[in-house]
Amino acid sequence: MGLKKLLNGIKKIMVNKFVNEIIVGNIHYCTIVKPNISNEGLNFTTSDDKSMQVGVWNYKEGKQLEPHYHNNFDRTSNITSESVYVSKGKILVKVYTKAKDLILEEKLCSGEMIIQFYGIHEYIMLEDSIVIETKNGPYCGPEKDRTRVEIG
Report the pLDDT averaged over residues 7-16.
Answer: 63
**Alpha-carbon span 132 to 22, nearest angstrom:** 21
Instruction: Summarize pLDDT for 93-139 with one digit per residue, the tens.
Output: 999 999 999 999 999 999 999 999 999 999 999 999 999 999 988 88
**Alpha-carbon span 19 to 38, nearest angstrom:** 9
Instruction: Summarize pLDDT for 18-32 with one digit per residue, the tens.
Output: 898 999 888 999 999
Instruction: Summarize pLDDT for 30-62 with one digit per residue, the tens.
Output: 999 999 988 999 998 888 888 888 989 999 999
Question: What's the whole-model pTM score?
Answer: 0.85
